[in-house]
Amino acid sequence: MSADIIPNTTPTGADVVIVGTGHAGAQAAIALRQQGFAGSILLVGRDRDLPYERPPLSKEYLTGAKSFERILIRPPAFWAERQIAFLPGTNVSRVDPVAHELGISGGRTLAYGTLIWAAGGDPRRLSCGGADLAGIHAMRDRADADRLLAELDAGARRAVVIGAGYIGLESAAVLVKAGCDVRVVEQQERVLARVAGADLSAFYQAEHEAQGVRFHMGAAVECIEGDGERVTGVRLADGTVLPADIVVVGIGIVPAVGPLIAAGAAGANGVDVDEFCRTSLPDVYAIGDCAAHANRYAGNAVIRLESVGNANDMASVAARAICGDPQGYDAVPWFWSNQYDLKLQTVGLALGHDATVLRGDPAARSFSVIYLRGGQVIALDCVNATRDYAQGRKLVEAGAVIAPELLMDTETPLKAML
């Protein structure tokens, strides 16, 4: 953190206080200034670093391809030039919506005019025996990635990854390329089961296996074994013990909304927001991973999206509303994941699909899976198929109904089908 953007004296408040210095919080501050907001802005967060991108933590930062400086969301001077102040290394533990006041580390308080809650989520921890042993890693912030890198440097070679979602699989890809013996344990019967269809799952599992990753599917973790200090293995419910020097746990997040819910904000899985990202508390917005909202692309179901695109879009929606130019949130969800030389780009939500169309040949390692519900195109997973991703977005936005035979015809560009 650069000294000139940390106030010399501890601030007592700001016109807009933003809790969380991740993607959503940083983008909210940027968007407020872009909208012409002239009041004071204070970003408060547990992190000690300036805002940085999280996706590279399980990708280019973990491989060493990108330094920390290269994953900063903006260079240090940017924040000072725009008079955006930071209070790093600070936990917010209490929200008083009547007094418009926050309780922060050290028993201090901060006054806010408007509050933007952008606190993301905490990695879900294992609840079994041995979960606190050294060598067990989450993958959520820079410190997590640095701890894992330090153990690889110190010679750790046997890795068990628990959870075959995107973060687990990306970590597995980096670890096996770094020369580790990698096992992945997943309680579902297929990888990426929560987010993708069966064709994509089968393709990704096969790619990982071809690189040497071994999978234990439909497997429950009984406990983590250790020597009293460090992890030595992962015991599965069927009695199998997988030897391990390091364990990476990628089993999702718990939305960090405790203080808001305690203050009376509506919410169950995260905090509920309306189309302008307003919570049920006066002058309190919530954005990013922690914000539960009715999403058109999920058939108006109330969901949380954990993606950079959503964090940025919600930040802009909240900033506009605060600046008196409200425009409801209606962005098409998108996501990406890099594993080996495979670039996956997703647009839309496959949730509730009733049919899929395969476009292209997985054996050629460039193809798309198109998800349909009631005949409408609702999502695409595009593997090394950037053109399909860019053109398919329009089909998703339009909810286009297109014959499956046409969708699978790779001679016809998707944009010609609208």
Which residues are at the interface with ligand FAD (CB under 6 A)? 19-25, 44-47, 54-55, 57-58, 91-92, 118-120, 139-140, 167, 256, 288-289, 306-309, 311, 335-337
Nearest approach in angstroms of CB 291 to ligand FAD is: 8
Cβ proximity to ligand FAD: between 78 and 336 the closer is 336
Nearest approach in angstroms of CB 27 to ligand FAD is: 8
Q: What are the residue ranges of helices labelled H in 130-182?
A: 142-153, 166-177
Nearest approach in angstroms of CB 141 to ligand FAD is: 6
Cβ proximity to ligand FAD: between 186 and 289 the closer is 289
Nearest approach in angstroms of CB 414 to ligand FAD is: 22
**Chain centroid, CA 411 distance in Å:** 35
- Which two three-digit tokens encode residue 122? 């905490």
Q: How far is the C-alpha of 105 from the C-alpha of 92, rounded, in Å?
A: 7
Cβ proximity to ligand FAD: between 281 and 357 the closer is 281
Query: How many angstroms separate the most distant Cα atoms in the chain?
Result: 66
* Residues contacting residue 275 through CB under 8 Å, at least 6 positions apart: 293, 294, 317, 328, 329, 330
Nearest approach in angstroms of CB 49 to ligand FAD is: 9
- Which two three-digit tokens encode residue 274? 């309306």
Q: What are phi and psi of 314, to 5 degrees?
A: -65, -35
Of 360, 355, 359, which is closest to residue 377 (Cα–Cα)? 355
Cβ proximity to ligand FAD: between 44 and 369 the closer is 44
Cβ proximity to ligand FAD: between 130 and 392 the closer is 392
Nearest approach in angstroms of CB 31 to ligand FAD is: 13
Cβ proximity to ligand FAD: between 150 and 406 the closer is 150
- Which two three-digit tokens encode residue 335? 């996501």
Q: How far is the C-alpha of 87 from the C-alpha of 38, rounded, in Å?
A: 19
Cβ proximity to ligand FAD: between 34 and 307 the closer is 307
Angle at 13 between CA 11 and CA 19, to 5 degrees: 100
Q: How far is the C-alpha of 59 from the C-alpha of 43, rounded, in Å?
A: 27
Nearest approach in angstroms of CB 200 to ligand FAD is: 15
Torsion of CA 192, 196, 198, 199, to 10 degrees: -110
> Is 106 exposed, middle or buried, given 0-12, 13-18 or 19+ CB atoms closer than 10 A?
exposed
Cβ proximity to ligand FAD: between 204 and 233 the closer is 204
Nearest approach in angstroms of CB 246 to ligand FAD is: 16
Cβ proximity to ligand FAD: between 55 and 360 the closer is 55
Nearest approach in angstroms of CB 94 to ligand FAD is: 9
* Side chain identity, residue 176: V
* Side chain identity, residue 408: M
CB 397 within 8 A of CB 418: no
Residues in the chain: 418
Cβ proximity to ligand FAD: between 25 and 392 the closer is 25
Q: 214: which strand partners?
A: 183
**Chain centroid, CA 343 distance in Å:** 17
| Token pair 């398919």: residue | 392
Nearest approach in angstroms of CB 191 to ligand FAD is: 16
Helix (H, G, I), strand (E, B) or coil at 119: coil
